[in-house]
Amino acid sequence: MIKLENLTKVYGDKTAVDGLSLTFKPGVVTGLLGPNGSGKSTTMKMIISLVNPTAGDVLINGNKYKDYQEPFKQVGTLIDPSALDKNFTAKQHLSIIAEAANINSDRVDDMLQITGLDNAKDNKLKSFSLGMKQRLGVATALLSNPAAIILDEPFNGLDVDGIKWLRKLFKELAEEGKAVVVSSHLMSEIQAVADRVVIIGQGKLLADMTMEEMNEKSLSSYVYVEADNLEKMKKALEEKQAVIKRKDAGFEVRNLEAKEIGRLALEQQLTLHELKSVKPSLEELFTEITSGKADYVSQGAENK
Ligand SMILES: Nc1ncnc2c1ncn2[C@@H]1O[C@H](COP(=O)(O)OP(=O)(O)OP(=O)(O)O)[C@@H](O)[C@H]1O
């Protein structure tokens, strides 16, 4: 169990992580989601004492990572797959770590097998694609058979087969009782595998819910309506106790079904320009939760 207590990191005048309190539990795959620059990597680095918190604490089964004699048996990590010595082969890379950490060398072969790198084990890392480096990063994280694994954007660079393989692996690791924490800035990568989703934006906790709760929320649909006389439409909707919000050239309406809105428009002799039921996808819900919370927004996205 990994417990974050009011975890905070300030860099100069930038608060990268802002009072995060939450728990990552054994047997659960947790998706740590957030837009670029929201503080995911900094949070993960604080868990494994690579970055010192400005305030707050991280406790792993009651102790700090750096206070364990063999911390890698508590938490295995994949933080930056590019930080590998490119002149080593995959097998050499894992063997050196295994020897330094007093891990049985059989684990090296097992991990190469599990991560599909067996055929490439004697190739130098400089010839590895990003996807292969990610696989090696996962092998490294699992080498010590840790109780928890924390992986920063592990789906980056993986092809479709690689993504499927990794999702299956995460499920299996959770079934073995490990706490699995996976960061991503894309809901689509996480939704098929996570049991729970933690969403952060500008370092703050925005949502913490099970995938079931998230799915239920995404089903909180609304009706979009446009009419020739919006004022009259608004008045009629309000009289029916509908919850309305201005959107584009019409309204988002909750509490009233499309057919009731259609009937209301007929009674009021309004001409409807558009009437449709909308069910936000998980991706849209994620965008709604994090909207305005991204530090870096591309020009294209900003203008949408
Ligand atoms: N060493 C550092 N010095 C100064 N600022 C930093 C440092 N590391 C991170 N930051 C800033 O802290 C904020 C959070 O960064 P972080 O890398 O944790 O976000 P992230 O959610 O992992 O982003 P991404 O999805 O882009 O990897 C950003 O504004 C970043 O610029």
Quote the pTM value: 0.80
**Going by CA atoms, what residue is nearest to atom 16 of ligand 1?**
39
Q: What's at 227, amino acid-wise?
A: A
Beta-bridged to residue 152, according to DSSP, are: 183
Alpha-carbon distance 199 to 17, whole Å?
12
ipTM value, please give it: 0.96
Residue 284's pLDDT is what? Answer: 79
Residue 300's pLDDT is what? Answer: 35
14 lines ligand 1 (CB under 6 A): yes
Q: Which of 8, 15, 40, 298 to mutate to test the pocket of ligand 1 (most atoms within 8 A of CB)?
A: 40
How far, in Å, is the centroid of ligand 1 from the Cα of 202?
10
| Residues 71, 65 contacting (CB under 8 angstroms) | yes
Alpha helices in the chain, H assignment, sequence order: 40-47, 90-100, 106-114, 130-142, 160-175, 187-190, 211-218, 230-239, 258-267, 282-290, 299-302
| Residues 152, 183 contacting (CB under 8 angstroms) | yes
Alpha-carbon distance 32 to 141, whole Å?
17
How far, in Å, is the centroid of ligand 1 from the Cα of 146?
26
To which H or E segment does residue 181 belong? strand 179-184
How far, in Å, is the centroid of ligand 1 from the Cα of 154?
17
In percent, how much of the chain has pLDDT > 70? 94
**Going by CA atoms, what residue is nearest to atom 12 of ligand 1?**
16
Residue 176's pLDDT is what? Answer: 96
- CA 266, 268, 273, 275 torsion-angle sign: negative
Residue 215's pLDDT is what? Answer: 79
- Domain architecture of the chain: domains with CATH: 2-217 (3.40.50.300), 221-279 (3.30.70)
| Residues 93, 84 contacting (CB under 8 angstroms) | yes
Angle formed at CA 49 by CA 48 and CA 50, multiple of 5 degrees = 95
* Confidence at 286, pLDDT banded by 50, 70, 90: confident
How far, in Å, is the centroid of ligand 1 from the Cα of 42?
6
295 lines ligand 1 (CB under 6 A): yes
- CA 156, 134, 4, 28 torsion-angle sign: positive
| Residues 188, 284 contacting (CB under 8 angstroms) | no
**Going by CA atoms, what residue is nearest to atom 1 of ligand 1?**
11
Q: What's at 196, amino acid-wise?
A: R
Strands 55-60 and 2-11: antiparallel
Alpha-carbon distance 295 to 39, whole Å?
10
279 lines ligand 1 (CB under 6 A): no
From the CA of 41, give the closest atom in ligand 1.
22
Residue 296's pLDDT is what? Answer: 45
Alpha-carbon distance 188 to 130, whole Å?
20
Q: Calculate mean pLDDT across residues 282-290.
A: 81
Q: Which of 38, 150, 205 to mutate to test the pocket of ligand 1 (most atoms within 8 A of CB)?
A: 38
